Chain A
Amino acid sequence: MASRESDIAPPRDGFGGASRRQVLATLAAAPLAQAGAAAAPVTVELPPIAETGNSVPIRVSVDSPMTDDDHVRSIEIRVPGNPEPIAATYFFTPACGVAALRTNIRLARTQRVTAVAELADGRRLSAHADVVVTLGACVEEVYP
């Protein structure tokens, strides 16, 4: 495999030693572009009810041409009801063709899951979906 330097920014290493409260404060302070009805290119698909929080299917897509000038740089899945409020961050390049992903996440409790997309021009867009979790992923013992 070619050992060429990556064009992709290195992923943020979670939030290091920051506490849950600090992270949530950081997230709340970061302003998001208000997507109007005409421009709501981010979609989050989640089942409305999850029997168990251990594995909940989620699909996130962003309507983007994925050209060199206009593409999605990253998508972050936020799960503020979990002990660690970011589930994952995905880094895209124009070579992806489409900015969409599907995965399975853990949810500790009923909550609003938000996806935040960062575009090539630095704009950030978001969308969310509410999910009722009947039985949370097993983290209750140490839940703050």
Chain B
Amino acid sequence: MRARVNLPARARAGEVITVKTLVAHPMETGYARDVRGDLVPRHIVTEFTCWYGGREVFRAAFQPAIAANPFLEFHLRATVSGRVTCRWRTDRGEETALERTIEVA
């Protein structure tokens, strides 16, 4: 799974920043049929987590109603310089993680 995470490189302490994430995934619902009329088995990203400052700060649980190539925007309050780690997991156990650093002044 290819993923992207976008957040500001620098922020003031206490500032609320926007984190934009995107992961390449078909999000097969298990309801759609292929050209032969067979059901395409379900294959979705089920879990997203974001760690910052050594803690899990945000999490999401996805169902099939999340569109393909899940986009998710949320917010964090900038408190310490360091890593922001985003991780996606699918219902088949596949995992992708992406790390960004933020400098807090």
Contact = CB atoms under 8 A, between A and B. Distances in A.
Main secondary structure of the interface of B (DSSP, over half): strand
Given A83-B31, A139-B29, A93 B67 contact: no
Given A92-B58, A104-B71, A139 B32 contact: yes
A103 B61 CA distance: 13
Given A7-B56, A90-B58, A139-B32, A97 B75 contact: yes
A103 B20 CA distance: 10
A28 to B, nearest CB: 19
B65 A87 contact: yes
A89 B65 contact: no
Interface in A96-126: 96-98, 100-107
B73 A97 contact: no
B72 interface: yes
Contacts of B74: 90, 96, 100-102
A96 B77 contact: yes
> Chain B CB within 10 Å — which of A96, A102, A107 has the most?
A96
A44 interface: no
Nearest to B83: A1
Interface residues of B, number: 37
B79 to A, nearest CB: 7
A90 B60 contact: yes
Nearest to A100: B75
B75 A88 contact: no
A8 interface: yes
A143 B39 CA distance: 13
Nearest to A75: B60
A20 B80 CA distance: 44
B77 A95 contact: yes
A3 to B, nearest CB: 10
Interface string A37-80: 00000000000000000111000000000100000000001010
Contact of B63 (A1, A88, A141, A142): A88
In the complex, the 7 A-B pairs of residues with the closest C-beta atoms, listed nearest first: A11-B61, A97-B77, A87-B65, A97-B16, A55-B67, A102-B73, A104-B67
